[in-house]
Amino acid sequence: MGRHPHPTRREFIKTASAAVAIPYIITSTALGQGDTPPASDRIVMGGIGLGNMGSGDQDAYLGRKDVQYVAVSDVRKGQLDAGKDKADKKYGNKDCQAYGDFRELLARDDIDAVHIATPDHWHAIMVIEACKSGKDVYCQKPETLTLREGPLMIAAARRYGRVVSGGSQRVLEDYREIVDKCWGGELGPIKSINVNVGPLSQMCNLAAEDVPAGMDWEMWLGPAAWAPYNSKRCDGNFGTNGNSWRSYLDYSGGGMTDWGAHHFGGATFAVDVRELQPHEINFHDDNGKQYVELVYPNGITLTHNKPGKENLEVEGTPGEKREAKPVPSYSGEGGIYGDFIECVKTRQKPFRDIELAVNSTAVSHLASAAYRLQRSLKWDSAKQEFPGDAEANRLLDRARREPWQL
Amino acid sequence: MLDQAFEALKTLDWGQDLAPLAPIDEAVISSHSDESARRELESRLAATLSMTDSRDAKDYVCRKLMLIGTAASVPALAALLAKPENSHVARFALERIPGKEVNEALRTALESVAGVLKVGMIASLGSRGDEDSVPQLAKLLGDSDHQVACAAAKALGAIGSGKAAHALATSSSEAVKQDATNAMLACAENLLAAGDKANALRVYKHFAGEGQPKHVRLAATRGMLACAGKASE
């Protein structure tokens, strides 16, 4: 991504001209006090999707003195009201605006950045629309639902010079020991790493239930195929065994993409292939125990659920050492959230830059394709297609329900 | 087993166990290297579309035809495009089936449907990169239905060709400005990648003026630098 000059913080009067209710009196909150920067120097943010992960993301950004949190959007009135109340309580006012339709939030010129934590089937559309509106974006993982979405999200980010960060904090924070060993060179040249994660998502045929008051069901479904409301279909819990949207094909890739975003992200970071995508996906059926090997162009192999292998078990080259490399890390203070905000200010790429996040979710999608088709595949990362494989290429994307499109 | 599965499929409804349909799922996979078995399976699936009133059954069939459908299934799927309950799942299958027959079916349907269904046809034509639909899409840039006009702009951007860029450039609709801008910038990226610097530069210069939002001017500036062979990284 290109680096352009630090944008001049907008004058307060510009914020005041936005089409929202603005307090007439300029308060000490607006002017800044102590180590709190004045409003004109804060990143103005809004949040879209305020359930389990979104609520935590909102807390993180609300807790930052360099952020002014001004708007929330959710299709569930309960979450929407709770998100607004949280922001209003933080600032001691009623200024946070609540929107049932995220497009109204994105239309506000005074908002610099948004965090997105909807179910996965919304991510690509929202990230692209946010970039088109000139917003920087922090998007929860897994950032994509299909392979085709990734390059379009990257293109939108690059086109407009937006800072777009993926959302897995675990990539850097959970696997530090193995990352340090790999980057420190003590394992020698790396041959392979294994990831254990699953399952794949499945079709959902749950019975119809009455849509609860305050739920905009059509908007929750959005680009996904129409289906009747069922509380398990849209529950945001972290399970992947049938009691949450994370279980179902139309909204998620299942554990393979959900926890896969963390594990594959961590594994590709550890063995330093996060800027690449595999070119071979070899499917194995070992007496009913299925696993895949994803081979990178540099020869490193990433195995998934290989029998006898631990999660993030690395195979190096015994007896050999390699020159140590400095381990990339976050910018700023405050973990992955601080990294994003710092990069919004400085126009640097964040640690989980969208391109790196897309590469690790692509691993999940490629492995899933091999399991769904029960065979090995080739992958051309430059063309983003399975070369000469018309059947597999059908899995690159899926038609979105009208009126939604990328 | 397969016969029983097809019988169960006809009355499929939400809330029912999908296990009785497993033989169909298995046949989709196992027929990968058996062309004759796959064509027979496709034929049975396509025929089911007219043998059931169940929305859930049609949804299931379209998901399978997405994987194995060919031109032979296009008429059965196209018959659903104008039906609000089935239009999307029909496109779910059609959008991923290779061949000109699909594009022709979508372009035909485009002329006969309205509102969000029309948006759906436009989106699928864009997603398929159907260059032959550019004249139809160009006309829709000025459609009185804002959603239709914006969808046409997005689809032209997805097609991304010189003709698509020209159609977008000649549109003066203020209502589709953001989508048309994004689409033109996408076209310019394609033109530049294909070596057509002159036309790419024309697009970028159009958006480099003071009247554009800051992030659009940034996109234009980066594009002009790229046209000049200067990286903006």
Q: Are residues A38 and A155 in the same domain?
A: yes
Q: Is A359 contained in some domain?
A: yes
Q: Are residues A95 and A142 in the same domain?
A: yes
Q: Are strands A301-304 and A192-195 parallel, antiparallel or unpaired?
A: parallel
Q: Is B113 contained in some domain?
A: no
Nearest to A134 among B56, B94, B215 (CB): B215
- Please say which residue of B42, B73, B98 terminates a domain: B98
Q: Is B7 contained in some domain?
A: yes
Q: Which domain holds residue A152?
A: 12-169
Q: Is B193 contained in some domain?
A: yes
CA atoms within 13 A on the CB side of A339: 19
pLDDT in tens, A307-330: 999 999 999 999 999 999 999 999
Q: Are residues A182 and A142 in the same domain?
A: no
Q: Are residues A107 and A186 in the same domain?
A: no
Q: Is A227 contained in some domain?
A: no
Q: Is B175 contained in some domain?
A: yes
Q: Is A139 contained in some domain?
A: yes
Give the sign of the dihedral formed by CA B223, CA B227, CA B228, CA B233.
positive
Task: Identify from B184, B214, B217 which residue to disrupt to test chain A contact, counting A C-beta atoms within 10 A and taking the largest count.
Answer: B214
Nearest to A399 among B17, B88, B186 (CB): B88
- Please say which residue of A129, A148, A169 terminates a domain: A169
Could B123 and A228 be called an inter-chain contact, meaning their C-beta atoms sit closer than 8 Å? no
Q: Is A242 contained in some domain?
A: no
- DSSP lists the bridge partners of residue B8 as none
Q: Are residues B4 and B75 in the same domain?
A: yes
Torsions phi, psi of A349, nearest 5? -75, 135
Q: Is A264 contained in some domain?
A: yes
Number of domains chain A is built from:
2
pLDDT in tens, A31-56: 556 667 877 789 999 999 999 999 99
Q: Are residues B143 and B231 in the same domain?
A: yes
B50 shares contact with chain A (CB less than 8 Å) = no
Q: Are residues B181 and B93 in the same domain?
A: no
- Please say which residue of B83, B98, B113 terminates a domain: B98
Could A406 and B66 be called an inter-chain contact, meaning their C-beta atoms sit closer than 8 Å? no
Cα A337 from Cα A45, distance rounded (Å): 12
Average pLDDT, chain A: 92
Q: Is A222 contained in some domain?
A: no
pLDDT in tens, A209-265: 999 999 999 999 999 999 999 999 999 999 999 999 999 999 999 999 999 999 999
Predicted complex ipTM: 0.96
Helix (H) or strand (E) holding B139: helix B134-140
Q: Are residues A371 and A392 in the same domain?
A: yes
Q: Is B10 contained in some domain?
A: yes
Number of domains chain B is built from:
2
Instruction: With a cut of 60, say whether residue B130 has pLDDT above it.
Output: yes
B203 shares contact with chain A (CB less than 8 Å) = no
CB-count exposure of residue A128 (10 Å: 0-12, 13-18, 19+)? buried
Cα A370 from Cα A284, distance rounded (Å): 10
Could A399 and B123 be called an inter-chain contact, meaning their C-beta atoms sit closer than 8 Å? yes
Q: Are residues A175 and A296 in the same domain?
A: yes
Kindly state the average pLDDT of the residues A366-390: 98
- A162 CA to chain B: closest CA distance, Å? 8
- Please say which residue of A169, A191, A221 terminates a domain: A169
Nearest to B127 among A160, A228, A397 (CB): A397
Q: Is A279 contained in some domain?
A: yes
Could B119 and A403 be called an inter-chain contact, meaning their C-beta atoms sit closer than 8 Å? yes
Q: Is B58 contained in some domain?
A: yes
Q: Are residues A341 and A304 in the same domain?
A: yes
Question: pLDDT category, B171, cuts 50, 70, 90?
Answer: confident
Q: Are residues A76 and A190 in the same domain?
A: no
Could B214 and A7 be called an inter-chain contact, meaning their C-beta atoms sit closer than 8 Å? yes
Question: pLDDT category, B136, cuts 50, 70, 90?
Answer: very high
Q: Are residues A296 and A369 in the same domain?
A: yes
Could B59 and A225 be called an inter-chain contact, meaning their C-beta atoms sit closer than 8 Å? yes
- Using H for helix, E for strand and C for coil, what is the string for chain A? CCCCCCCCCCCHHHHHCCCCCCCCCCCHHHHCCCCCCCHHHCEEEEEECCCHHHHHHHHHHHCCCCEEEEEEECCEHHHHHHHHHHHHHHHCCCCCEEECCHHHHHCCCCCCEEEECCCHHHHHHHHHHHHHCCCEEEECCCCCCCCCHHHHHHHHHHHCCCCEECCCCHHHHCCHHHHHHHHHCCCCCCCEEEECCCCECECCCCCCCCCCCCECHHHHHCCCCCCCCCHHHHCCCCCCCCCCHHHECCCCCEHHHHHHHHHHHHHHHHCCCCCCCCCEEEEEEECCEEEEEEECCCCCEEEECCCCCCCCCEECCCCCCCCCCCCCCCCCCCHHHHHHHHHHHHCCCCCCEHHHHHHHHHHHHHHHHHHHHCCCEECECCCCECCCCHHHHHHHCCCCCCCCCC
Q: What is the CATH number of the domain that holds A155?
A: 3.40.50.720
Q: Is B120 contained in some domain?
A: no
Q: Are residues A193 and A101 in the same domain?
A: no
Percent with pLDDT over 70 in chain A: 91
Could B15 and A397 be called an inter-chain contact, meaning their C-beta atoms sit closer than 8 Å? no
Q: Are residues B94 and B155 in the same domain?
A: no
Q: Are residues A137 and A193 in the same domain?
A: no
Q: Is A92 contained in some domain?
A: yes
Percent with pLDDT over 90 in chain A: 89
Cα A244 from Cα A178, distance rounded (Å): 32
- Please say which residue of B98, B124, B153 terminates a domain: B98
Q: Are residues B147 and B89 in the same domain?
A: no
Q: Which domain holds residue B75?
A: 1-98
Cα A283 from Cα A371, distance rounded (Å): 7
Q: What is the CATH number of the domain that holds A360?
A: 3.30.360.10
- Please say which residue of A146, A169, A192 terminates a domain: A169
- A404 CA to chain B: closest CA distance, Å? 8
pLDDT in tens, B39-72: 999 999 999 999 999 999 999 999 999 999 999 9
